[in-house]
């Protein structure tokens, strides 16, 4: 794959690290508690001359750890410091080896190296990741929170009015029948042509998930994501047999079991790929190619990241042929970002940057 970085192909590089904290527009409630901001590290690689670094070519990466998905903030910082030392003595591959299994740190280092190399070649990152054709847009879904029925329907209609043709509804925190009523109300409001997905965030028992599938099949829901705890692979396999036209997606289950485990149990129609949690867009691209050969659909989401990682995820989606609507419309969840967003949302699609590399600018103020 063209994203491989060999020491002999790259000049001597230096790696810089800058911590950041990005406040959210409103607190995000999770199983691990309330999140009010996203803390992480911006990484920059650039060419090292005999005297001092030159900024003729720069690559950017981002590590934004998230509890339950990646290593801790402190472990991520330590791994990045190792990479900073290793890149000087052992080059790019040494830097990647230094981050070990710390996935958020590896995401940052590998993205910065890929951005650098694609920029050197004056190639958009998605082409560097192996997409031969030009891709102008990738479809994205609107994510609708777990509000009351009328609020959910209103937000879904607002998303449709903004041009979204796919809405993902959060569920699993209330009574099952109430969730079914919410989905039914949204379907009535948006009509038959809008794709609906439901993400239950591991919130249901097997009996509840089966009941939900019966209702969702009638309501033309396309995907039910993670209805059971991640460990319940046999339950997912059984649900697939009872799912009708609804496809079963695994998100948390990808991290817990890996693709081998999921395929061995015949447990999913769709896998959700979060580059930050998988260790980089290069790793996620390889997984996407792999599962596509197994007739499993890959789609891409973020972990509420800053603009560097978010743009990387857009390029990843653009590198996946025939990718379905992805969860990339998350910039509005942040009250502040690392820099200007080069990705525009238009009519339910993300417009893919065509500049060299990632296409991000202004993220490293001097």
The sign one gets for the Cα dihedral 310, 66, 298, 209 is negative
Rounded (10°) angle between helices 103-120 and 307-318: 70
Structure confidence at residue 47 (pLDDT): 87
Share of the chain above pLDDT 90, in %: 83
Mean pLDDT, to the nearest integer, of 278-302? 96
Residue 347 is a catalytic residue: no
β-pair type (13-30, 33-48): antiparallel
Residue 155 is a catalytic residue: no
Q: Which of 170, 210, 347, 356 is catalytic?
A: 170
Q: Tell me the sheet residues that pair with 195.
A: 166
β-pair type (221-225, 247-250): parallel
Structure confidence at residue 61 (pLDDT): 98
Of the listed ranges 41-55, 61-75, 127-141, 231-245, the one predicted with least confidence? 41-55
Q: Tell me the sheet residues that pair with 16.
A: 44
- Per-residue confidence at 26, pLDDT binned at 50, 70, 90? confident
pLDDT tens for 307-345 read 999 999 999 999 999 999 999 999 999 999 999 999 999
pLDDT tens for 128-181 read 999 999 999 999 999 998 889 999 999 999 999 999 999 999 999 889 999 999
Tell me the C-alpha distance between 111 and 275, whole Å: 10
Which residue would you say has higher pLDDT here, 303 or 366?
303
Domains of the chain are 7-122 (3.30.390.10), 137-351 (3.20.20.120)
Q: In 10 A of CB 245, how many CB atoms?
A: 11
Structure confidence at residue 348 (pLDDT): 92
Statement: residue 82 has pLDDT above 80: yes
Statement: residue 50 has pLDDT above 80: no
Is 260 annotated as contributing to ligand binding? no
- Per-residue confidence at 365, pLDDT binned at 50, 70, 90? confident
Is 77 annotated as contributing to ligand binding? no
Of the listed ranges 6-10, 26-30, 41-45, 134-138, the one predicted with least confidence? 6-10
Write the CB contacts of 208 (distance below 8 Å, at least 6 apart in sequence): 176, 227
- Per-residue confidence at 8, pLDDT binned at 50, 70, 90? very low
Share of the chain above pLDDT 70, in %: 93
Mean pLDDT, to the nearest integer, of 340-354? 95
Q: Which of 155, 168, 274, 356 is catalytic?
A: 274
- Per-residue confidence at 28, pLDDT binned at 50, 70, 90? confident
pLDDT tens for 225-269 read 999 998 899 999 999 988 889 999 999 889 889 999 999 999 999
The per-residue pLDDT of the chain, averaged, comes to 92
Is 238 annotated as contributing to ligand binding? no
């Amino acid at each position: 794959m063209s994203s491989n970085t060999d020491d002999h192909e790259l000049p001597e590089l230096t790696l810089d690290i800058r911590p950041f904290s990005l406040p959210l527009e409103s607190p995000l409630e999770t199983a691990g508690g309330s999140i009010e901001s996203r803390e992480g590290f911006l990484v920059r690689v650039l060419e090292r001359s005999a005297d001092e670094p030159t900024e003729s070519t720069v690559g950017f990466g981002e590590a934004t750890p998230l509890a339950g998905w990646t290593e801790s903030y402190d472990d991520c910082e330590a791994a990045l410091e190792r990479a900073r030392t290793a890149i000087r003595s052992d080059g790019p591959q040494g830097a990647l080896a230094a981050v070990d299994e710390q996935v958020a740190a590896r995401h940052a280092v590998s993205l910065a190296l890929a951005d650098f190399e694609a920029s050197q070649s004056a190639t958009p990152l998605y082409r560097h990741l192996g997409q031969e054709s030009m891709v102008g847009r990738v479809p994205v879904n609107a994510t609708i929170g777990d509000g009351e029925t009328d609020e959910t329907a209103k937000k879904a209609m607002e998303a449709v009015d903004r041009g979204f043709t796919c809405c993902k509804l959060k569920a699993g925190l209330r009574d099952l029948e109430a969730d079914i009523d919410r989905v039914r109300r949204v379907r009535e409001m948006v009509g038959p042509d809008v794709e609906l997905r439901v993400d239950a965030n591991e919130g249901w028992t097997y009996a509840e998930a089966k009941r939900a599938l019966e209702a969702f099949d009638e309501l033309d829901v396309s995907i039910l994501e993670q209805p059971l705890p991640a460990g319940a692979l046999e339950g997912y396999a059984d649900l697939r047999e009872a799912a009708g036209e609804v496809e079963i997606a695994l998100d948390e289950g990808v991290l817990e079991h890996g693709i081998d485990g999921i395929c061995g149990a015949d447990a999913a129609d769709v896998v959700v790929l979060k580059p930050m949690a998988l260790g980089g867009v290069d790793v996620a691209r390889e997984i996407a190619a792999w599962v596509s050969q197994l007739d499993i659909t890959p789609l891409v989401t973020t972990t509420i990241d800053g603009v560097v990682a978010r743009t990387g995820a857009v390029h990843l989606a653009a590198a996946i042929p025939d990718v379905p609507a992805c969860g990339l419309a998350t910039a509005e969840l942040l009250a502040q970002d690392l820099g200007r967003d080069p990705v525009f949302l238009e009519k339910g699609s993300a417009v893919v940057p065509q500049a060299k590399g990632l296409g991000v600018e202004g993220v490293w103020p001097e």
